[in-house]
């Protein structure tokens, strides 16, 4: 599987391990729907792109699908962050393109792109404000470390 979608309370993560796929976007949509049905709080969305992934080759339907999803759930999002730790010019250019797209989309929620995992996780946890679980950063790290083939969920947590 080239992606992993995880849900833990009002936290959602998507990890791309390879070429971003429409199937991954569909799983992400299920996660967003699940969280909006089970949580009253705003939620945070983290995308981690592994260095082996090829986000620059993502088909237009993947990019458009994610954009539509973010627009549809904008009123519930506390913020989004994309984390791409890969080194080099290509990775820096990809981060710049993602940041530019985010800026031009004029989102109603905060959105950033980070090159360091810890900084990105700390930033998104801060965006949740009072809706953040007390252990949000450690939960996000655990979610990003998991590798599953679908939506995994830990609904028992507040």
**pTM as predicted:** 0.87
d(CA 141, CA 127): 16
The predicted model gives 122-150 an average pLDDT of 89
Which residues touch 99 (CB under 8 Å, ≥6 apart)? Answer: 112, 113
CA-CA distance, 46 to 107, in Å (whole number)? 15
11-16 and 3-8 strand pairing: antiparallel
Greatest mean pLDDT among 52-56, 64-68, 150-154: 64-68
CA 31 to mean position of chain CA atoms:
11
How high is the pLDDT of residue 118? 96
| Contact status, residue 115 vs residue 95, Cβ threshold 8 Å | yes
Question: Which two structure tokens, joined as six digits, stand for 69?
Answer: 């999803």
pLDDT: is 154 or 54 the higher one? 54
Look-up: residue for tokens 């599953």? Answer: 148
Mean pLDDT of 132-145: 95
- DSSP SS3 for 125: helix
**pLDDT of amino acid 88:** 78
Domains and CATH numbers, the chain: 3-153 (3.90.190)
């Amino acid at each position: 599987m080239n992606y992993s979608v995880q849900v833990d309370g009002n936290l959602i993560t998507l990890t791309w391990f390879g070429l971003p796929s429409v199937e991954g976007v569909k799983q992400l949509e299920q996660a967003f729907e699940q969280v909006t049905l089970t949580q009253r709080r705003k939620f945070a969305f983290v995308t981690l792109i592994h260095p082996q992934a090829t986000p620059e080759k993502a088909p237009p339907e993947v990019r458009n699908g994610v954009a539509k999803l973010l627009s549809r759930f904008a009123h519930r999002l506390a913020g989004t962050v994309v984390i791409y730790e890969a080194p080099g010019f290509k990775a820096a250019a990809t981060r710049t393109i993602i940041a530019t797209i985010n800026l031009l989309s004029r989102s109603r929620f905060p959105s950033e792109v980070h090159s360091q995992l810890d900084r990105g996780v700390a930033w998104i946890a801060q965006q949740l404000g009072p809706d953040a679980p007390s252990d949000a950063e450690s939960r996000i790290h655990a979610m990003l470390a998991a590798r599953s083939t679908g939506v995994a969920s830990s609904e028992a947590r507040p």
